[in-house]
């Protein structure tokens, strides 16, 4: 992993890496040891960063399993960001190409609020 040259950027890069790893673990969450290994950081560094992210609501820790999961603030941020990125426009040509190549119908369903469009 490259070390950014901007002061404080290393901590931000490490925190972002941990956020990606936690979200990649999906619903099961990730344990501290696996996160440390994947991020190539010490367990104490990972714990300190995760604790700071938890204080901001970006990650959460299941007290029974001690596994780390995306937090509620991350969900809210993602919801706002999702409005900027219309996946239907990005996927239109790909879905059309799949239909032509396979000679089958191809559909993309996207959830919008309580509906699928």
Could you give phi then psi for residue 5, rounded to 5 degrees? -90, -10
What is d(CA 5, CA 23) in angstroms, rounded to the nearest whole number? 26
pTM over 0.85: no
What architecture is domain 9-71?
Answer: Orthogonal Bundle (1.10)
Sorted by where each begins, the domain ranges of the chain are: 9-71, 86-116
CB 12 within 8 A of CB 50: no
* Confidence check: pLDDT of 117 > 80: no
What mean pLDDT, rounded, does the chain reach? 90
Output the pLDDT for position 4: 59
For residue range 40-82, what is the model confidence (pLDDT) as tens digits?
Answer: 999 999 999 999 999 999 999 999 999 999 999 999 998 888 8
């Amino acid at each position: 992993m490259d070390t950014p040259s901007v002061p404080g950027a290393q901590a931000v890069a490490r925190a972002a890496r941990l956020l990606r790893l936690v979200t990649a673990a999906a619903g099961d969450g990730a344990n501290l040891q696996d996160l440390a290994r994947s991020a190539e950081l010490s367990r104490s560094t990972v714990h300190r960063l995760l604790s700071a992210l938890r204080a901001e609501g970006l990650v959460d820790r299941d007290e029974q399993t001690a596994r780390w999961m995306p937090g509620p603030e991350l969900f809210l941020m993602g919801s706002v960001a999702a409005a900027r990125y219309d996946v239907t426009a990005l996927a239109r040509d790909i879905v059309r190409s799949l239909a032509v190549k396979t000679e089958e119908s191809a559909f993309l369903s996207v959830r919008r609020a309580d509906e699928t469009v």
